[in-house]
Each structure stands twice: as structure tokens, then as C-alpha cells.
Structure 1
Amino acid sequence: MKRFFRDNGLTITLLSLFLLSLLGMAFTGEAVSSQEAARHGRDGPPLLHYVASGEFLSALFENWESEFLQMSAYVVLTAKLFQRGSSESRDPDAPGREGDQLPPKFARRHWFVRWLYARSLALVLFLFFALSFLAHWLSSAKAAATEALLHGEAPPGALEFLADAQFWFESFQNWQSEFLATAALVVLSIFLRFQGSPESKPVSASNEDTGG
């Protein structure tokens, strides 16, 4: 068991932080929703009702959407583009990488199977992005419909809401931060170090060295 936690410590820690953050989001979001309801003379929703609401699910999935977009785009862009000196880039003077050939067991597979395997990481991340985008869209449409009914207005349909500025504002406000943070990591890894991290160049490496 000790070896299991040692070998999988990064994933276990990140998932634990995810669950703690998710719980924090649920409890604090429900508190905010209850405060908002009280200002309008209504009772706040129970926690379980809140986490099933369009308001909560929209906020949840719009963040997942941006994260998976950032990761999938990053996987593809780092395969095609370079940043000299960055630990996040391949060396532009020696772009080839040992071991990037398909293993022998794929030699006789159909070309499409080989293509899928060679690009499976980005494809799955893009799939997660698409599913998160869909869930964000439908949840935001549900939240907008609930808000409209509270004000005695006709609720918008899902397709109608897809053209709503609010939906795209929710997406773009997250997308821009993800791309900025990624660009900052690419550039800062040229000049800064963190000893022992595979996301950093070795401490002794020069700023001109590219790759980890």
C-alpha cells in the first residue's frame, strides 16, 4: 500500500484537492444562492437541490470546459510549434523525439487505428472539452430559463440560448485566463527553475537550453 501511494501520489493528491475544492464550491455556492433568495423573500434551496441546479452545473462545467480546451490545445500546439529555451517545448534545432514511432504491434493494424493511437491523448482531451461545453451550454440554458420564470418572462430555448451573449461571456472569461496562464508557464520556464520538477529545466541548465 505504501508503494501504491508513492507511485500514484501525484494523481491521488490532485484528485483529493479536486474533491475538496468541489465540496467548497458546493457549500459556498449554496450559501450565496440562499443569501440571494433571502433578499427576494424566498427560501434558499437545499444543498442537494442546489448542486443539481443549472446555476451550479453551469459554473462547474464552464470551468471544466476551459481546462480541457487548454490542455487539448496545448498538446497539439506543442507538437507543432516551438519556444526556444522553454522546458515546455521541443528543441527547434532537433525536433525529432526518440520513441515517437508506433510500437511493432501496430505495424499491421489499419491506418486509422494507427492514426487514432498516435493522437489519442489530444482526441480524448478534445472529447472531454466537447462534453463539458455541451454540459455548460445546457446547464446555462436551464439556469437562464429558471431566472426568466422567476421574473415572469418566457424562458429561452436551448438553441436560442446558444446565441446568447451571456453564454459566450461565461466561456471566454475562462478561456482567456487558461491561455494566458499557459503562455506564462512557457515563457517563465525559460528563465526560472523549480528543483526536481519535470515541468522545469534542471537548475543547472542555461536559459538557451530547450526542453526538460
Structure 2
Amino acid sequence: MSLFVFTLMAQALTGWKEHNGTLKDEGASELSVSTYLRSGHFISATFENFESEFLQMALYVLLTIRLRQIGSAESKKLDEVEEVDREPIASPTAPWPVRRGGLALAIYRNSLSIAFAILFFISWWLHFYGSWQENNIEAAVKGKQDLTMLEYLAEPNFWFETFQNWQSEFLSVASIVILTIFLRQKGSPESKPVDAMDMETGK
């Protein structure tokens, strides 16, 4: 979290300087830091990245329930029932939703994927909102007409921003699934033991 806060602050500072440079070149007024943090430029850039990360994690959590990859440290065993697949037991030490049962348990047993999906949709919306705001600011500086949200949704710029992030996340997931078949990192929970066979699935 310290690294996250540091890099977010660095992004804000460098983005502010870069954006003000662009505004200055266009003959527009520069923004204060506080105004920049509420601008479409900062909101779009920030949540564009959050969106793709939460999409990656939501899909990763959901797809690894059913799909398998022989030899991958990121896959469940091909032919064994694992601890994460067993039905929850309402013991005195179990979390409250498990003891309660019913709807509370139904939500809780899927709460990780639900949380990632909600975070993805919130980030997608904020990315879209920020990108739309930034587009209209650029249009105003250039003397062009603003677009409504629906009009901007049909513009290629927003979808270019979206897909360039999504494809990189899909590639990173494929990379860790496939590379952990053949490569090792001693001490990492993301790796199989160094002496494990390539076709040994899971950790």
C-alpha cells in the first residue's frame, strides 16, 4: 500500500505537469494541483488502470473455479477435490455468514468475485466519466463542440483506452499460468517447488 500511495502521488504530480504543459501549448489556463485531481485527465488515467486490474482479478477468481491447466502452479489439481471446494461448515469459529446460512451465506461464498466485479464497474464508470470530461475540455480548447455521454460512448478514443489496458491484463494472466509450468522461483507462493516436475499441477 505504501508503494501504491507513492506511485499514485508520483502519477498525480507528473500528470499535473504534463497536462499543464499541454494546456499552455494550446493557450489555455493552467490548473492548480487540487483542480487537476478533479479533472478528467487524472480521473480517466487513474481509473483506466484500476479498471483493468479489477477485471483481471475478477476473471482470474471466476475462471480458476472451473478451468485447469496441467503443470501450472496457478491451477487447481486436475483430478482431486481441494480444500477450497468443500462445503462450508457452520462451526462456532466460522464467519458470521456461514453460521447464519441462507442468503448471507450465498453472498459470502461468492463475495470475492462480487467485490472485484463491483470495483471493476465503478472503475469503468469513472474511467469513462473522466475520459469524457477530458475529451470535452480538449474540444473546448480547440473550439469544437462538446459531446454528450452517449455520443462519447460511440467514439473510438474511449474504447481504444479500454482495450489497450484489457489486452495487457489478459496477457499477464496467460503469462503467469503458462510460465509457472516450466519456471520456478524459490520461496514464492506463486511458484511450484524448484524440484517439482513440469507437469505437476498446482503447488
The normalised TM-score by structure 1 is 0.87
Distance 1:63 1:92 in 2: 33
- Report the number of matched residues: 196
Which region of structure 1 is more displaced relative to structure 2, 41-50 or 65-74?
41-50
Paired position in structure 2 for 1:163: 154
The SS at the match of 1:89 is coil
Report the Cα distance in structure 2 between the residues aligned to 1:57 and 1:108, rounded to whole angstroms: 40
Which TM-score applies when normalising by structure 2?
0.91
Q: 2:163 aligns with which of 166, 172, 190?
A: 172
Rounded to whole Å, the distance in 1 between the matches of 2:82 and 2:104 is 21
Give the superposed CA RMSD: 1.5
Q: Are 1:38 and 2:24 an aligned pair?
A: yes
Between 184-193 and 145-154, report the one with greater CA deviation.
145-154
Distance 1:45 1:92 in 2: 56
Indicate whether 1:195 and 2:189 are aligned.
no
Aligned-partner residue type, residue 83 of structure 2? E
Work out the CA distance in 1 between the residues paired with 2:154 and 2:23. Answer: 28
In structure 2, what is the equivalent of residue 61 of structure 1?
Answer: 47
Match of 1:147 in 2: 138
Counterpart of 2:11 in structure 1 is 25
1:115 maps to which residue? 106
Amino acid at match of 2:145: A
Match of 2:83 in 1: 98
Segment drifting more, 146-155 vs 33-42: 33-42
Q: Distance in 1 between matches of 2:40 and 2:140?
A: 13
Q: Which amino acid aligns with 1:144?
A: N
Deviations 1:59-102 (A, max 9, x none): 100100000000000000011100000000011122x2125321
Letter in 2 for 1:197: S
Measure how far apart 1:166 and its partner are.
0.8
Measure, in 1, the Cα distance between the counterparts of 2:100 and 2:35. 53
SS of the residue 2:187 aligns to: coil
The residue correspondences of 1:45-56 to structure 2 (distance < 5 A) are 45-56=31-42
Aligned partners of 1:164, 1:41: CA distance in 2, in Å?
A: 26
State how 1:73-92 maps to structure 2 within 5 Å. 73-92=59-78
1:138 pairs with 2:129: yes
Q: Could you say which structure has the greater relative contact order, defined with CA pairs below 8 angstroms and 6 or more residues apart?
A: 2
Give the whole-Å Cα distance in 1 for the aligned partners of 2:27 and 2:104. Answer: 59
Task: Give the aligned residue type for 2:73.
Answer: S
Where 1:104 maps in the other structure, the secondary structure is coil
Superposed displacement of residue 37, structure 1: 2.1
Specify the alignment match of 1:5 in structure 2.
none
CA distance in 2 between partners of 1:48 and 1:23 (Å): 12
Instruction: Report deviation, 1:108.
Output: 6.1
Q: CA deviation at 1:16?
A: 0.7
Give the CA deviation at 1:103.
2.5
Indicate the larger mover: 194-203 or 96-105: 96-105
Give ranges in structure 2 of 5+ residues lacking alignment.
Answer: 92-97
- The CA deviation at 1:45 is 1.5
Contact 2:185 2:194 in 1 (8 A): yes
CA offsets per residue over residues 165-185 of structure 1, 9 Å max, x none?
111111100000000011000
